[in-house]
Amino acid sequence: MTNKQAFSEAKNFIPGGVNSPVRAFGSVGGEPVIIDSGKGAYIYDIEGKKYLDFIQSWGPLIFGHCDEDIQNAVINAAKKGLSFGAPTLAETTLAKMICEKFENIDKIRFVSSGTEATMSAIRVARGYSKKDGLIKFEGCYHGHSDALLIKAGSGATTYGNASSGGVPQEVVKNTYLAIYNDISSVEAIFENNKDKIGVVIIEPIAGNMGLVPADKEFLIALRALCDKFGAVLILDEVMSGFRASEFGSLPYHGVLADIVTFGKVIGGGMNAAAFGGKREIMDCLSPDGTVYQAGTLSGNPVAMSAGIIALGKINSNKNLYDKLENLARRLTDGFKSAANDAGVALHTDVRGSMFGYFFTDKAVKNYDDALKSDVKLFAKFHAAMLAKGVYLAPSQFETGFICEPMSEADIDFAVRAAREAFREIKA
């Protein structure tokens, strides 16, 4: 079967042929290839074509595909049972590994997806602060729960409008939109809604509008505003956790959140995510407290085993993030110089193993800046790279990922492909 035939078959039975929209390649106007297998830094489609994979399952696979240690842990755990719906040693082991790493995380609860992690974090934050108002930032993605599905509105201080069908206006009426890296937009919301705002959620390194890191000064000021107005600060590190560094975004700003959410890397490729924070907040959760939160497969032993090995490998490999960051810089520097030589402006950024590149000559500080990128040129570049065997995220507004098995030679292969691609798309 060809990729085309398989995708057409998928579309008969699955909406859009995919189980998560970005996989459909809609924003680049192409069609996805159907993946058969992966090994290390590479994936193979059902036609046998090989690609250097810069998506890495959208972040989780920091050790690449089929890492032997993680794979063995999963196999061994699976042999003992797939799920019990009862306490196991593995969940406490992983919880302890994370709590001991972060001074602001006393307790943590596991869930199965990043969506659940942020949704539950907001519920416990509201339960603790006893205030319903929630500030989120334009361009930040926190999963697909109702109250968070709001994108750029016209003004930072207006009520949000749902950016998805099926989300009642009632549900988003407590969600306030602020502008990323613009502290005055946050201050205005706090000032205009005294005693209403109980929660602020932000990606400290935004990865879902392309890669847009928050300024250190901005996050410090955000922390101060939360303290002044009695709001719980949630740093959503579902993507940046164990990706930007072994401590996530923390070394870049030093701001301690009240709650941190994790996902992606902490499951080592399996379905695990989590939210954790200060004891007095986390103890509001049922069964100790009044805030209800639950999950049949939460803390699943197979997923926990994968996470334990992934975090264990991160802890024992002290040069890991330096290596990944060097490769990320080699790639973005290569892209940038290839683009410049072809007369294409590119803005690039790197945070540890995360990289981003915008088709614009301006700095990108927020969602509006990101939206000024040349998405048509991006689409052409993406298609050209795919044809050359380089698998990049099919949207200008996503982040790329380096994995441990990648070598300088792999990066140089991608840069050579980019050089050809830029020449072709400008011709």
Q: Which sequence positions are flagged as catalytic?
A: 141, 236, 264
Is residue 114 near ligand PLP by the rule CB under 6 A?
Answer: yes
Among 113, 300, 348, 360, binds ligand PLP (CB under 6 A): 113
Applying CB under 6 A, does 180 fall inside the site for ligand PLP? no
Taking the CB of residue 144, how many other CB atoms lie within 10 A of it?
A: 16
Among 98, 231, 273, 309, binds ligand PLP (CB under 6 A): 273
How far apart (Å, rounded) are the C-alpha atoms in residues 110 and 126?
19
Which residue number, 112 or 305, has a Cβ lying nearer to ligand PLP? 112
Among candidate residues 326, 325, 263, 333, the one with its CA nearest the CA of residue 298: 263
What region, left, alpha or beta, does residue 58 occupy, with left being phi > 0 and alpha being psi -120 to 50 degrees? left
| Residue 414, both tokens | 């991608």
Q: Return the number of the residue (351 or 380) whose C-beta is nearest ligand PLP.
A: 351
Residue 141 touching ligand PLP (CB under 6 A): yes
Contacting residues for 30 by C-beta, under 8 A, at least 6 apart: 379, 382, 383, 386, 394
Instruction: Please select the residue that binds ligand PLP; options are 181, 208, 293, 298, rule is CB under 6 A.
Output: 208
Residue 83 Cβ vs ligand PLP, minimum distance, rounded to whole Å: 18
Residues 6+ apart with CB under 8 A from 244: 205, 252, 351, 352, 353, 354
What is the per-residue binding string for ligand PLP in 221-260, x denoting contact by CB under 6 A?
Answer: ---------------x-xx---------------------
Phi and psi at residue 37, to the nearest 5°? -160, 170
The two beta strands, 42-45 and 35-39, are: antiparallel
- Cβ 267 to ligand PLP, closest distance in Å? 9
How many angstroms from the chain centroid is the CA of residue 92?
24
Q: Is 207 in the site for ligand PLP (CB under 6 A)?
A: yes
Instruction: Closer to ligand PLP by CB, 121 or 308: give it.
Output: 121
Which range touches ligand PLP (CB under 6 A), out of 35-43, 62-70, 138-146, 367-375? 138-146
Q: Reduced to 3 states, what is the DSSP secondary structure of residue 354?
A: strand
Q: By CB under 6 A, tell whether 352 contacts ligand PLP.
A: no
Instruction: Report the residue closest to ligand PLP, judged by CB.
Output: 114
Chain contacts with ligand PLP (rule: CB under 6 A): 113-115, 118, 141-143, 203, 207-208, 236, 238-239, 263, 273
